[in-house]
Amino acid sequence: MYFNHDQIIGISGASWGDEGKGKFTDVFASEADIIARAQGGCNAGHTVIVGDIKLKLHQVPSGIIYPDKLNVIGNGVVLDPRVLVENELKNLAEKGINTDNLRISGDSHVIMPWHRIIDRAREWRLAKNKIGTTARGIGPAYADKANRCGIRLNDLYDKKVLSEKIELIASEKENLLFGAWKLPEKTFSEWMNLPDQFNGLWLDNGKFDVQEIANSYSKWAAILHDYVTDIKELLNNAIKNNKKILLEGAQGLLLDIDHGTYPFVTSSNCSAGGFATGLGITPQSIDRIYNIMSAYATRVGAGPFPTELGTQEEISNESGDNKMSFKQSAELAKSTNDDYTIGKVIRHIAGEFGTTTGRPRRTGWFDAVASSLAAKINGPDVIITKLDVLDVMPKIKICTAYKYTGPSTWYNGKNVENGDKFTVFPTDARILKCCSPAEFKEFEGWNSNITSVKNYDELPDLTKKYLKGIEQSTGCKIKFVSVGPKRSQTLKIME
Ligand code: GDP
Ligand code: IMO
Ligand code: MG
């Protein structure tokens, strides 16, 4: 049903993350032999719901619940061993889920305490222009990898090498933080003291405790010892032996370091291209990529978001703890024309609060200008998720063009003038922040509960019309539709 004649399938986020990759990795994993993560780190938060079990996975692939399938973490992931050992593996064990089927590349780079501190310190320095990172140290870890001063998982198994590296790098980072950036020691200590962060890895003078860091990382490495292997060998042998492999993307295309809304992006290639480099398999071996797109847009963190309903300031006082009930939200949807309120209804019905950080997610209408990028960079096949969230909406919109309202400038070989229309997505945040929807296609809401629909044919005609609208405006082909977070709420569209 999912793999058919394909041997290797990738699940890629097509937007700004949180599209439902975890759900679909879990669904497709039922037919796979191996599930593999290739990039990102514990900035990712993937939700898997199986019966009464709800997993929130960050680094461990979303196929972990199947004991008979290997779950691998590739060289392209930046791994936080503390989070893996003390959070993820512990939580999985508490839920009775066996993790003997996990394998990790020894070549994956490791997130060190200074990466998290530098992540926070950069945001602190950017003040009003923050990226809104997850503060998990992702950007600084990838920066060190590119700068060839990273520490890899394999390094943790030689205490002498590890201590020398830590000593050298820690002093460089201290110079950066306390010298060049003049980070107050008090602020450093406050960050190091945050719950569940660095327990005991710093000294009273507010500096990194080199010895303690070496001891802690060696301790976590010892726990991970039996998982570490050569992932590219494992995968290439599996390919020879006709095993089916599912590649699980993290983040989404619009957060891709090359193709996303730079600089408001993450630091890895979350487009389909990242699978080959992050796992050591040939690009040709990947048979198909499914773009996961939600039926409306979301974004968490800062950065331009042309179809946003409401503003970041308006949502800042919302939290998952004061969520509106479904009934309240549905009533509100009928009675309002206000953008922020419509966005709030979507957020509260869907529970759009970050899986990793708990932040309220910004919500907006489906953006066909942005989403058409997926067909070009990842391929045409699409899975539409969270369609049920729109059940209560009287009107639904798809944005098909932007208007640029800003100063005259130059972008990708062309002059850009105030009033220009964009139908091709500008990936530069400088341009995009001056873009607002100029054209919408408006659809009548279907106003019925589709969460128990079992076949695509049974969906209301108005729902199908909306899906056709997405296909026509993005150049994509919808292959599956999701009408709820559970495995069973998955509809296949027959050719
Ligand atoms: P990921 O990062 O792409 O794996 O997505 P997240 O897990 O961070 O966020 C997606 C959220 O939407 C999760 O709470 C899922 O359980 C939920 N979800 C996934 N598919 C659907 C769907 O079709 N309908 C609804 N209502 N929720 C969904
Ligand atoms: P999943 O895999 C949504 C966002 C952050 C921030 C930007 C940079 O669950 O879809 P980073 O910590 O990566 O340096 O932050 O990227 N971001 C995500 N947004 N889902 C994610 O992962 C994200 N991972 C990073 O909010 O805007
Ligand atoms: Mg997520």
Q: Is 323 exposed, middle or buried (0-12, 13-18, 19+ CB in 10 A)?
A: middle
CA-nearest residue for atom 2, ligand 1, is: 18
The CATH code of the domain at 297-492 is 3.90.170.10
Q: Is the confidence at residue 195, as pLDDT, over 90? A: no
> pLDDT band for position 380 (50/70/90)?
very high
3.40.440.10, 3.40.50.2000, 3.40.50.300, 3.60.150.10: CATH of 8-106+228-292: 3.40.440.10
Does the beta carbon of 356 lie inside 6 Å of ligand 1?
A: no
Q: Which residues of 83-92 are buried (b: 16+ CB within 10 A; e: fewer)?
A: bbbebbbeeb
Domain ranges of the chain: 8-106+228-292, 110-223, 297-492
Could you give the CA distance from residue 35 to residue 450 in angstroms, rounded to a whole number?
A: 30
For the chain, how far is it from start to end, CA to CA, in angstroms?
12
- Give the environment of ion ligand 3: residues with CB less than 5 A: 18, 45, 355
Q: List pLDDT tens digits, range 73-128.
A: 999 999 999 999 999 999 999 999 999 999 999 999 999 999 999 999 999 999 88
Q: What is the mean pLDDT of the chain?
A: 95
Catalytic: 348?
no
2.60.40.10, 3.90.1150.10, 1.10.300.10, 2.140.10.30: CATH of 110-223: 1.10.300.10
pLDDT at 206: 73
User: Which one of 73, 80, 134, 363 would you pick to mutate in the ligand 2 pocket, going by the greatest count of ligand atoms within 8 A of its CB?
Assistant: 134
Q: List pLDDT tens digits, range 30-60.
A: 999 999 999 999 999 999 999 999 999 999 9
Beta carbons of 136 and 196 less than 8 angstroms apart = no
pLDDT at 207: 84
Catalytic residue among 5, 26, 33, 46: 46
Cα diameter, the chain: 67
46-50/70-73 β-pairing? unpaired
* Percentage of the residues of the chain whose pLDDT score is greater than 90: 90
Joined tokens for residue 374 = 């997926």
> pLDDT band for position 358 (50/70/90)?
confident
From residue 51, alpha-carbon distances to 40, 346, 488 in Å are 28, 24, 10
> pLDDT band for position 321 (50/70/90)?
confident
Q: List pLDDT tens digits, range 197-231.
A: 776 777 777 788 999 999 999 999 999 999 999 99
The DSSP element (H or E) to which 291 belongs, if any, is strand 288-294
Could you give the CA distance from residue 119 to residue 114 in angstroms, rounded to a whole number?
A: 8
